[in-house]
């Protein structure tokens, strides 16, 4: 296996140079961002979005999903991508490979659930039994026990590798944008529209709300992604109000992390296992980096003003991938400073 530092460099479809961040003085932090008036629930009509990226921990491979049944795989750390054949035209919003294995799952509109058993090269479709749009998929420890989440307060669980799915009782009826089981199939979190944060400690038999635990709540905000990078105690959530929420205690308290300026909506985050370093991305090319658990943020410049829906880094912390509107796929190999366009074959 190639070492992370031996991965291919950044490629560009037009031969343009890499787009390197120019960090600005702290006094002008984020003041250059052009803000637009947007509602907290944002719907994108544009096709060909890259909605979610998955990177493997033990090899420099990645998988990405998007609109109209788009599925891409990369074997060179995201420098180039190949289109896969998928038996659906539905928009796909999430993809995951349990335990970093060869079995993967993806989900999307109209109750679509897909499964691959060969590292994402071929996919089959499951009958989920519902027509509800699904936004999150999570298989915490193995390829048999997993969860999907989506519209109308939907959370479903499978115990047999996706052959059948059982509805779970949820104390909300709004769209759930993401779901996360950080350690095992017992303790999990789900987030969504209307400042929704849910938690379970018994594998989803009972979900309870943590929205009342938010300090300085953000009424009406959409909570778009949740990430617990090391355990089920320290976690982060990104919101449509351009804020990042943090919990140090499994959601007993959620507090907004400090930001020195108003940000556009945020859609994705990727925090390191040490819970200190990480990135968030969002609308209008927004990309921020932290090295102290979110107490301070540095603006990065990926060289695009497209909305960015997914950010993922490989375990070395140097090679990262961004995905977004209009088939935007960017790769960096230097920890997030210089980004270049990936090649899509």
Q: pLDDT tens per residue, the chain (345 residues)?
A: 332 333 333 334 344 456 565 443 333 333 333 333 233 333 344 458 999 999 999 899 999 999 999 999 999 999 999 998 899 999 999 999 999 999 999 999 999 999 999 989 899 999 888 999 999 999 999 999 999 999 999 999 999 999 999 999 999 999 999 999 999 999 999 999 999 999 999 999 999 999 999 999 888 899 999 999 999 999 999 999 999 999 999 999 999 999 988 899 999 999 999 999 999 999 999 999 999 999 999 999 999 999 999 999 999 999 999 999 999 999 999 999 999 999 999
C-alpha to C-alpha distance for 192 and 190, rounded to whole angstroms: 7
Supply the pLDDT for residue 19: 57
Supply the pLDDT for residue 219: 87
Using an 8 Å Cβ cutoff, are 251 and 235 in contact?
yes
C-alpha to C-alpha distance for 207 and 194, rounded to whole angstroms: 16
DSSP 143: S
β-bridge partners, 190: 179, 198
Using an 8 Å Cβ cutoff, are 195 and 221 in contact?
yes
β-bridge partners, 288: 280, 299
Supply the pLDDT for residue 82: 96
Place of tokens 């992390």: 257
Supply the pLDDT for residue 20: 67
Supply the pLDDT for residue 106: 98
Supply the pLDDT for residue 11: 37
Supply the pLDDT for residue 40: 37
DSSP letter string, 284-310? GG-EEEESSTTSS-EE---S--S-EEE
Alpha helices in the chain (DSSP H): none
C-alpha to C-alpha distance for 9 and 77, rounded to whole angstroms: 9
CATH class, domain 8-19+258-345, is: mainly beta
Domain extents in the chain: 8-19+258-345
Supply the pLDDT for residue 260: 82
Supply the pLDDT for residue 47: 55
């Amino acid at each position: 296996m190639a070492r992370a530092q031996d991965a291919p460099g950044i490629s560009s479809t037009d031969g343009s140079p890499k787009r390197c961040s120019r960090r600005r003085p702290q006094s002008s932090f984020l003041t250059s961002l052009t803000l637009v008036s947007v509602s907290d629930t944002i719907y994108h009509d544009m096709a060909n979005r890259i909605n979610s990226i998955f990177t493997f921990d033990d090899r420099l491979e990645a998988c990405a999903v998007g609109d109209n049944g788009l599925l891409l795989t990369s074997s060179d750390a995201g420098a180039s991508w190949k289109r896969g054949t998928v038996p659906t035209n539905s928009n796909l919003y999430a993809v995951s490979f349990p335990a970093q294995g060869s079995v993967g799952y993806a989900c999307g509109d109209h109750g679509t659930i897909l499964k691959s058993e060969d590292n994402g090269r071929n996919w089959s479709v499951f009958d989920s039994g519902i027509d509800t749009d699904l936004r999150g998929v999570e298989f915490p420890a193995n390829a048999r026990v997993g969860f999907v989440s989506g519209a109308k307060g939907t959370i479903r669980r499978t115990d047999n590798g996706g052959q059948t799915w059982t509805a779970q009782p949820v104390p909300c009826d709004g769209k759930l944008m993401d779901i996360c089981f950080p350690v095992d199939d017992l303790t999990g979190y789900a987030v969504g529209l209307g400042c929704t944060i849910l938690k379970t400690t018994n594998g989803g038999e009972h979900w309870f709300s943590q929205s009342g635990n938010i300090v300085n709540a953000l009424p009406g905000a959409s909570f778009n992604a949740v990430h617990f990078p090391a355990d089920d105690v320290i976690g982060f959530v990104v919101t449509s109000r351009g804020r990042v929420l943090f919990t140090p205690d499994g959601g007993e308290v959620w507090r907004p992390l400090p930001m020195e300026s108003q940000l556009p909506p945020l859609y994705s985050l990727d925090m390191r296992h040490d819970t200190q370093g990480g990135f968030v991305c969002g609308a209008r090319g927004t990309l921020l980096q932290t090295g102290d658990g979110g107490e301070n943020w540095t603006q990065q410049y990926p060289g695009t003003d497209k909305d960015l829906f997914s950010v993922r880094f490989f375990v070395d912390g140097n090679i990262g991938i961004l995905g977004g509107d209009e088939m935007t796929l960017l790769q960096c190999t230097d920890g997030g400073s210089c980004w270049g366009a990936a090649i899509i074959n």
